[in-house]
Amino acid sequence: MSQARIAGTGSYLPRRVMTNAELECLVDTSDEWILERTGIAQRHIAADGETCADLAEQAARAAMAAAGPDNGSIDLVIVATSTPEHVFPSTACRLVERLGLPGGVIAFDVAAACSGFVYALDIANRFIRTGGAHRALVIGAEVFSRILDWSDRSTCVLFGDGSGAVVLEASDQAGILSTHLHADGRQTSLLNVPWGVGQGYEALEAERGTVSMRGNEVFRVAVRTLGGLVDETLKANGLERGDVDWLVPHQANIRIMDATARKLGLPAERMVSTVARHGNTSAASIPLALDEAVRDGRIQRGELLLLEAFGAGFTWGSALIRY
């Protein structure tokens, strides 16, 4: 059985930046409140007509360029998203065409909300380890700006648009050391977009679906759940607090991220944090942060990374990676 390692990373952010000051003009909020409660100062917003597939394609191209010349051999494409361009075909299938990949590749989307990238990485790792694929594109891409109620101050200040990608390839060296995925559907009422084809035509035409969240309750579940996930991941790998080189967390709220870093015994500078500039980009946030820290030289080959996420469902998951 072969192992899977990250061969290259890439990311993309829409050009338009929306600051907290702009949000002050839309809803009853303040830069100070948003910064203090979330750590977010700005977010990127997709242009009119810019879709999930557009964002995913840019990140994929960057990751493929970073991974090197063997891109013709990509045989698996997984896109994690909750904001696909269409009900179908999947965003992954759109990319097969846009990237000029040969017919015969495997391509599908994964919906696990903010945990989607970790879910997709786990699936790609299993394909590679069992010989079902050799070189996979794993992408997280979101246009959450399209599913926000811009008059709801409790949600519209939190999210942003973006995409991130990795090329995962078969290798003799262990790259993905372990993955841990979970879901619990009993608290769907705390965080959801209660809209979709199940609503029937009239409801679909009457309103657009938007994020609904009981933020402080989600916050408490997230901190507790991620603490347990850290314990589970360290234990499965025989590691102690402080053994990990980098925490690359889902970027929902700096207070949740800091709590996880403390649980891991890591100083703040060992956590990759993009939440101030990107906001919560859901399934895109981890690969966006990973790509940034790889490109600016913070994350070096051979270092030990812990990726973790928590999202609607609830879903949660982690990946321990020797980069």
By the criterion CB under 6 A, which residues form the site for ligand COA?
29, 33-34, 37-38, 114, 153-154, 157, 213, 215-216, 218-219, 222, 252-253, 256, 310-311
Chain position carrying tokens 């097969």:
96
Alpha-carbon torsion, ordered 251, 256, 257, 260, to 10 deg: -140
Q: What is the CA radius of gyration of the chain?
A: 19
Q: Pick between residue 57 and residue 308 the one whose CB is nearest to ligand COA.
A: 308
Contacts of 314 (CB under 8 A, 6+ apart): 183, 184, 185, 187, 190, 191, 221, 225
Minimum CB–partner distance for residue 113 and ligand COA (Å): 7
Q: Where in the sequence numbering do the catalytic residues fall?
A: 114, 250, 280
Q: What residue type is 249 in one-letter code?
A: P
Minimum CB–partner distance for residue 17 and ligand COA (Å): 18
Q: Nearest residue by C-beta to ligand COA?
A: 215
The rounded distance, in Å, linking the Cα atoms of 123 and 82 is 17
Minimum CB–partner distance for residue 26 and ligand COA (Å): 10
Is beta strand 246-249 parallel, antiparallel or unpaired with respect to 304-311?
parallel
Minimum CB–partner distance for residue 27 and ligand COA (Å): 7
Q: Pick between residue 63 and residue 112 the one whose CB is nearest to ligand COA.
A: 112
Cα separations (Å) of 252 from 3, 120, 123, 242? Answer: 31, 19, 23, 23
Q: Pick between residue 71 and residue 83 the one whose CB is nearest to ligand COA.
A: 83
Minimum CB–partner distance for residue 252 and ligand COA (Å): 3
The rounded distance, in Å, linking the Cα atoms of 63 and 211 is 30
* H helix or E strand, kind and range, residue 106: strand 106-110
Provide the token pair at 76: 């698996």
* H helix or E strand, kind and range, residue 156: helix 153-156
Q: What residue type is 240 in one-letter code?
A: E
Q: Pick between residue 20 and residue 179 the one whose CB is nearest to ligand COA.
A: 20
Q: Pick between residue 38 and residue 91 the one whose CB is nearest to ligand COA.
A: 38
